[in-house]
Structure 1
Amino acid sequence: MKPPIDMERKLRQFMASLTEYPYYRALRDVQHWSDLPVTDKALINEKRELFELPHPGKVYESFTSGTTGIPFRCVKTIEERWRLAISIYRHRKKWGLPPKHQMLLLSNRSLSEPHHLDYYANQLQRQHFHMIQGRASALVSLAQHIFQKNMALPSSLLFVQNWGEPVHASQKHEIERVFRVPLVDYYGLEEIWCIAFSNQLGQLEIDEDSVYVEVLEPGTNMPVQDGTYGEIVVTSFLMRSIPYVRYRTGDIGRTRRNEYGARIVELFPVRNAQIKLPGREIHSSIFRYLDKFFYELAQNEQIKQFQVVQESHTEFRLLIVGSISEEQRLRTRLEKFLQQSLRAEVSLTIERKDQIPLTPNGKLQSFISLVNDNAQR
């Protein structure tokens, strides 16, 4: 889809500035934004000297791999970190956050152990926090602990913020019930920080001052129409140490304009991954064709977590934490979809779990393939 005129002008100006990087200097004859290459961690790692500019001052390093499994070193200057932080604060300010505020940040470590939960709960008792930030699963654990202990909450609390993990309806309900403030959502990457933030309608509103978001057809990299699912790629207008231009997020989603003209993003609950078959791989974005099915799971207040696991080339499991009705119908529906999409005979089992393990960085992957792991055993 063609960007609005103002954004088109901004992209042309930004495109002209890219010639300071050797990688884009070689592409200076490219006339149209959509003809610029799509980039990712692997490409930047391979040709880093063509992307990364010398840094005369202090830089901050962080590391990420997301769900790609590709280690990636992020660098940011002091000025970039400041500009990125201001971008996030602009959104939090809309929820009442004052310039001088206190935030309780939950670590990525599991909060299942009582002494971790007691520590954070006691912090809330002693200080006047304005916001709490953490992954949805950690926020639920803390909320349940506070409720069971019948602990008081600071009157200064304005909102609770999720980041880095999909929020299910049951989690949102539990968090807001206990903390008695809104749960707001944040969508971003370690590389460029904020992409979108909850607006007052509960939608993830894209920060168009800081980023440009495109949705592309997986495999062809052709733009899709608004409202159509595809692969999300982003361009950061704030990051200059390394240019993140048409950069793969690993997420599937769609964008549209809301009733006030703001551009919002709706993320699909399954991240970018590969379904492994004999002699070929299929992009897990095929799940976007079953969007209603997965959104029903995500919005079901009785289902706290779910995960699709590929055990072998022909065997899949649907892990569910919570309760479901019509289990046989659910199994038949997903199994039929997999067979049609993969053009192979597959079997599906449903397994109830008390909890689905998170990744080492504290995230829940909605689809994983264990085919390579099985082949090694």
Structure 2
Amino acid sequence: MSVKGFLIRHVQWPLMERLKENRTRHYLRELQDAQDTSPPQLIERQREKLKRLLRHAVHNVPAYASFAAEWEVSRVPPEHFLQRIPVLSKAHFRRHANEYLTKGIDPTKLIGNRTGGSTGEPTRFYLDRRAVERYEAARWLGLSWHGIQIGDPCVMIWGSPLELNQHQARQYRWKERWLKNRLLLSAYELDERRLDTQLALIRRFRPAYLYGYASALYMLAEMMLARGWTVGIPLKGVVSTAESLHEHQRKKITEAFEAPVINEYGARDGGIIAYQCPRGRMHAFSENCYLEVVDPITNLPLYPGESGALLVTDLHNTVMPRLRYQLGDVVALSSQTCSCGISYPLLETIDGREDDMFISQSGKYVHGHYFNHIVRNMESFRTFQIIQHEPQYISLKLVKEPDRFQPADVNRLLAAIRSALGEVSVQVTYVDQIAPTGSGKFRYAIRECPLTSGQALE
């Protein structure tokens, strides 16, 4: 047992709760109680929270003030009233952010945050402590399903903290190491030449689990398997987050680290939305958020099992409510229940980002997974990146597999692209590597032109 972890659980956290009124463990107990209730009870609990949020938003938030009169006379359930409010796009929110602040709130007393801005301008927003603590509680609940406790040692394969200077970055790493029992390894510095050093750091730290970007964990796993190396210590799990986790990545990570892969689904501007249970299903934390899935073109609601754009309503962020916020991801809800006994509702699939979807010349959309499946079946390429700048203009970056490259595979790939998208112009460039985005993530499929939609706030 980790002595530092024991001290964090039994000394540091009780002190935080007493001196700083941290309520993370209180919210964790609430979430634990909720997961044992029946699905109808969960729905009713969520409905009451949504009702309180809507009442607050229409009376106290300028962006929603025009709905106040309608709210007062409405007799429909809150989830039906919510559908009368336009979808909130990131672009609209960025331009009108101040209108979403609750009246009388002093932003200097709030917690400022921002998205990574991996394909465009970052989105800046505010939270209060209680909302952040509820996110953390959801993460710890999901980890607890796999035997991971608060304070357990963790190695994080992560990007750099956003907007920190060198001194602040050092402080951040110190706090992570000594107050949270986490060792940070940079996702930017994964290099076969330093693999032995990085594995030695992991072994010396003896983590209970690893936590990192799906692509970074996959890259590390591939390097280990190529050399026949293992991490050499037992792990409770490897937590994949921040990116879509593909099945081929899961298999490689499981093989390399000899541990189960646990999928975490969340976002800076959406909180911790769902966690994978030991049976492999993704449970959404309905106590913290209300989720909708809509057609990405029309914004009309979709049935469970149908993939579409995810809309998130954070039920606890009352300082800056964002109702029906279009997170940018493509998911499908599920009407099934899970045999694990956890009552939280299920996500059927998480298909990645909305801007991973491409527009064909005929107006249909094609998910970026399509290109990933094609390239993965070709031995000529180590990796790739495809970007749709305009519906008819594509750029394709390819990293060759030196000993296996076949020029005919390039023609096969171009034919597959045009089969899906129509007669598009494709600019092919051969590169030595695909650089990560500013936050350290790797993006393989990116659409820069907008999907047509007339019903969202743009």
TM-score range, shorter chain: 0.7 to 0.9
Counterpart in the other structure of 2:139 = 88
Q: Is the 8 A contact 2:97 2:125 kept in 1?
A: no
Bigger Rg, which one: 2
Q: Report deviation, 1:192.
A: 3.0
Q: Report deviation, 1:305.
A: 4.7
Name the CA shift for 1:263/1:212 in 2 (closer, same or farther; >3 Å).
same
Distance (whole Å) between structure 1 residues aligned to residue 158 and residue 43 of structure 2: 42
Name the CA shift for 1:306/1:234 in 2 (closer, same or farther; >3 Å).
farther
Could you say what secondary structure the match of 1:137 adopts? helix
Give the one of 56, 77, 88 matched to 1:39. 88
Give the one of 232, 237, 248 matched to 1:153. 232
TM-score normalised by length of structure 2 = 0.66
Could you say what secondary structure the match of 2:328 adopts? strand
Counterpart in the other structure of 2:54 = 15
Give the one of 271, 279, 295 matched to 2:354. 271
One-letter amino acid of the counterpart of residue 417, structure 2: L
Q: Is the 8 A contact 1:187 1:196 kept in 2?
A: yes
Q: Is the 8 A contact 2:62 2:101 kept in 1?
A: no
Larger deviation, residues 131-140 vs 55-64: 55-64
Could you say what secondary structure the match of 1:202 adopts? coil
Counterpart in the other structure of 1:106 = 157
Q: Given the alignment of the two structures, is residue 287 of structure 1 paired with residue 326 of structure 2, yes or no?
A: no
Structure 2 gap segments, 5+ residues each: 1-41, 75-80, 160-186, 450-458
RCO comparison, higher one (Cα < 8 Å, 6+): 2
Name the CA shift for 1:194/1:305 in 2 (closer, same or farther; >3 Å).
farther
Give the one of 137, 155, 168 matched to 2:246. 168
Name the CA shift for 1:169/1:263 in 2 (closer, same or farther; >3 Å).
closer
TM-score normalised by length of structure 1 = 0.78
Q: Report deviation, 1:238.
A: 2.6
Counterpart in the other structure of 1:337 = 420
Q: More helix per residue: 1 or 2?
A: 2
Distance (whole Å) between structure 2 residues aligned to residue 202 and residue 255 of structure 1: 15
Q: Report deviation, 1:152.
A: 4.6
Larger deviation, residues 268-277 vs 239-248: 268-277
Q: Is the 8 A contact 2:273 2:284 kept in 1?
A: yes
Q: Report deviation, 1:324.
A: 11
Counterpart in the other structure of 1:27 = 67
Distance (whole Å) between structure 2 residues aligned to residue 259 and residue 295 of structure 1: 30
One-letter amino acid of the counterpart of residue 272, structure 1: D
Give the one of 291, 296, 321 matched to 1:213. 291
Q: Given the alignment of the two structures, is residue 181 of structure 1 paired with residue 259 of structure 2, yes or no?
A: yes
Could you say what secondary structure the match of 1:35 adopts? coil
RMSD: 3.8
One-letter amino acid of the counterpart of residue 222, structure 1: L
Counterpart in the other structure of 2:387 = 309
Distance (whole Å) between structure 2 residues aligned to residue 268 and residue 352 of structure 1: 27
Q: Given the alignment of the two structures, is residue 198 of structure 1 paired with residue 247 of structure 2, yes or no?
A: no
Structure 1 gap segments, 5+ residues each: 340-344, 372-377
Q: Report deviation, 1:130.
A: 1.2
Counterpart in the other structure of 1:73 = 124
Q: Is the 8 A contact 2:358 2:365 kept in 1?
A: no
Larger deviation, residues 214-223 vs 294-303: 294-303
One-letter amino acid of the counterpart of residue 199, structure 2: A
Q: Report deviation, 1:40.
A: 2.9
Could you say what secondary structure the match of 1:110 adopts? helix
Give the one of 131, 136, 144 matched to 2:209. 131
One-letter amino acid of the counterpart of residue 50, structure 2: L
Counterpart in the other structure of 1:342 = none
The size of the alignment, in residue pairs, is 356
Q: Report deviation, 1:198.
A: 1.5
Q: Report deviation, 1:97.
A: 0.3
